[in-house]
Structure 1
Amino acid sequence: MRTVLAREMGGCSVLGRIWGVWRRRPGVRAVPKAPGFGTEAGHRLRPRGSSKRSRPLGGQPFPGLLQLENLSREELVDVLRAAVVDQKGKPGELTLFSVLPELSQSLGLGDQELQVVQASGKETSGLVLLSSCPQTASRLQKFFIYSRRAQRPTATYCAVTDGIPATSEGKIQAALKLEHVDGVDLVIPVKSPSRKDFQEGVKRTLSHFHVVAMGSGCALVQLQPLTVFPSQLQVHMVLQLCPVLGDHTYSARVGTVLDQRFLLPAESTKPQRQVPDEALLRRLCLTPSQAAQLPLHLHLHCLHLPGMRPGEAPMKLLAPLPSYFSRTLQCLGLHQQ
């Protein structure tokens, strides 16, 4: 198993690798453990250079959070290009499809079009896998499909949750559906679904979770989805009464009375900004208005990939935590035990 640590890209929602061009970049060197998790990273591939960087963040309370609305198309391409770890790897985001042609040209790929092979939700930080080779993309997509059918996890996320799961590890199973509510697509759990429900789009979902650390009423949790559904991990943690920190869509479904948490009806609970309690705000050193802008603390930390050639060892690709995520862990005293 080869382990590669992808370069941190200032909290942008994605980090990734492009497969399909097999010329190795120079400059391999050893690196320390990825922040917040103990997975050893054997080598890092030196990122491609860039003459531009994103604009400074000023007094933002969330260091390392890249604000796309402050970037031009050219600056965004430069930020993405600077985060490429070698000629077959680079980041992108689902909302950034429009700049993929320019990024392809910037990387010297000519007429080769970039396509997304693996990606998480648009608010989730971490890895996005892009490819300029259709054959490689097809092979990787088949690998991910086969792994899901075999219930073998290929992706590991890390999350900070507001609340601590009742057990240190386990499985979360739920039938979910997408429902259009007030102009927004929301994920709704379905109790005791019928055959007709499944025919109409309800899907059984499954995730593994493992509590890595806990403190200050919060937890650092590793999550491994075994199915693919929009916002699956956020909804699964809400069902555990432990919404992900910065989840401004589904956290409102968790109510509290006399310090006891309970689920509110998903169908009638509208999304609203997550409001941490006063003690948590103090630990995070945030004002209520700043907390309303808290980024989603859900990070695609690791992808398991197959060897690209017969006999080649599998690869584990790692993305360091964004700076704001690491800051939150420090404020809450959450460290791997």
Structure 2
Amino acid sequence: MRTDFAGEMGGYRVLGHVWGGWWRGPGVSSARKVAGFGTEARRQLQPRGSSKRSGSLGNQSFPGLLQPENLSREELVDVLKASVVDQKGKPGELTLFSVLPELSQSLGLGEQELQVVRASGKEASGLVLLSSCPQTASRLQKFFACSRRAQRPTATYWAVTDGIPATSEGKIQAALKLEYVDGLGSVVPVKSPSRKDILEGVKRTLSHFRVVATGPGCALVQLQPVTVFPSQLQVHMVLQLCPVLGDHRYSARVGTVLGQRFLLPAESTKPQKQVLDEALLRRLHLTPAQAAQMPLHLHLHCLHLPGTRPRDAPIELLAPLPSYFSRTLQCLGLCQQ
């Protein structure tokens, strides 16, 4: 996890690279551009137990992931404390997972509770915006809501996809609903939703996309969601027949017959580990077992925020890529064109 701070606005802080409810490893290469990605990070981080090697996989479940279960609570606090690049504004409690008391004490913060204003999503990596000031949090939430009403994206994600979109750029529109089966939530598209459907939780969603780079059977795609819905970007890419690498929930909805891809019925397709073809596995230098542990390659790279004062220029926050994401780009030759 990295923490990056840009601008002083009532004590907000920004965290990066939170994945799946656990921090999984720092973004390396913070001082250089990887596949055309710039970064605002102020220093590099290489914590204990991590490795700069990306070629030989050995017994790793997936290269570039730090396993928190191999760390003591004290070691995890040390790693998180070392991840703080800058800390300004009013002091507040840095709320983060199960090590809240230790981390807060280690950072010398006060008793104020931080509020999550914007996050990359449960399985995605990238920026997490926190605020210890209720007024600042309210202002930012109003800014994001106003931007959504104006259909003005404020977040930019990067995704590596299994497959290449049919067009180089465009928008994806779909009505989505969240269904629960055996206690597990799953997002499914709804064709021609009625007013009753909308009242019952179906939401019309919209995302913009642009293909940044392509390789044999894969692509680096920029995604800008206009609406907010659980798993929106993953489902949108599935509807393009190009699931995100590491999508072990929705990628099974894309079937293939004689090299042609098609959508399977979402309601009757159960989640399963993503299956990649042999050519892609060879380029990634992964075994099928390692690919089954692949993290979701969806990264909240950039957030646009309002300036501190009305006449100030907007603030742009950038998160460096996680090491596993950078490694994948290098293996697949996905450099910005």
Match of 1:26? none
User: Match of 1:304, SS?
Assistant: strand
Give the alignment partner of residue 20 of structure 1, picking from 10, 29, 35.
10
Match of 1:37? 36
Q: How far 1:101 moved relative to its partner?
A: 4.7
Q: What is the CA–CA distance in structure 1 between the aligned matches of 2:312 and 2:101, rounded to whole Å?
A: 31
- Structure 2 unpaired stretches of 5+: 14-29, 52-57
After superposition, residues 100-249 of structure 1 pair within 5 angstroms as 100-249=100-249
Q: What is the CA–CA distance in structure 1 between the aligned matches of 2:79 and 2:31, rounded to whole Å?
A: 24
Q: How far 1:155 moved relative to its partner?
A: 0.6
Q: What is the CA–CA distance in structure 2 between the aligned matches of 1:22 and 1:253, rounded to whole Å?
A: 39
User: Match of 1:211, SS?
Assistant: strand
Q: 1:156 to 1:45 in 2, by over 3 A?
A: same
Give the conservation status (yes or no) of the 8 Å contact 1:15–1:126: no
Match of 1:5? none
Amino acid at match of 2:11: V
User: Match of 1:65, SS?
Assistant: coil
Amino acid at match of 2:34: P
Q: 1:235 to 1:76 in 2, by over 3 A?
A: same
Give the conservation status (yes or no) of the 8 Å contact 2:3–2:86: no
Q: 1:45 to 1:329 in 2, by over 3 A?
A: closer
**TM-score, with normalisation over the residues of structure 2?**
0.84
User: Match of 1:289, SS?
Assistant: helix
Q: How far 1:46 moved relative to its partner?
A: 5.0
**How far does the alpha carbon of each residue in 1:248-302 deviate from its partner, in whole angstroms, 9 at most, with x for none?**
0000000000000000000010000001011111111111111110111001111
Amino acid at match of 1:153: P
Q: Which deviates more, 76-85 or 130-139?
A: 76-85
Give the conservation status (yes or no) of the 8 Å contact 2:3–2:85: no
**TM-score, with normalisation over the residues of structure 1?**
0.84
Amino acid at match of 1:55: G
1:254 maps onto 2:254 in alignment: yes
Give the conservation status (yes or no) of the 8 Å contact 1:306–1:314: yes
Q: How far 1:306 moved relative to its partner?
A: 1.1
Aligned-residue CA RMSD (Å)? 2.7
Q: How far 1:315 moved relative to its partner?
A: 1.2
After superposition, residues 251-290 of structure 1 pair within 5 angstroms as 251-290=251-290
Match of 2:336? 336
Give the conservation status (yes or no) of the 8 Å contact 2:306–2:313: yes
Q: How far 1:308 moved relative to its partner?
A: 1.5
User: Match of 1:294, SS?
Assistant: coil
Q: How far 1:16 moved relative to its partner?
A: 5.3
Q: 1:321 to 1:93 in 2, by over 3 A?
A: farther
**How far does the alpha carbon of each residue in 1:206-234 deviate from its partner, in whole angstroms, 9 at most, with x for none?**
00000000012000000000011111000
Q: What is the CA–CA distance in structure 1 between the aligned matches of 2:242 and 2:232, rounded to whole Å?
A: 14
Q: What is the CA–CA distance in structure 1 between the aligned matches of 2:139 and 2:77, rounded to whole Å?
A: 27
Give the conservation status (yes or no) of the 8 Å contact 1:17–1:128: no
Q: 1:228 to 1:54 in 2, by over 3 A?
A: farther
Q: Which deviates more, 70-79 or 225-234?
A: 70-79
Give the conservation status (yes or no) of the 8 Å contact 1:34–1:321: no
Q: What is the CA–CA distance in structure 1 between the aligned matches of 2:113 and 2:41, rounded to whole Å?
A: 26
Identical residues among aligned pairs (%): 78
Amino acid at match of 1:36: A
User: Match of 2:172, SS?
Assistant: strand
Q: 1:97 to 1:149 in 2, by over 3 A?
A: farther
Amino acid at match of 1:229: F
Q: How far 1:134 moved relative to its partner?
A: 1.4
Query: How many pairs are equivalent?
Result: 310
Give the conservation status (yes or no) of the 8 Å contact 1:16–1:128: no
Give the alignment partner of residue 49 of structure 2, picking from 37, 41, 55.
55
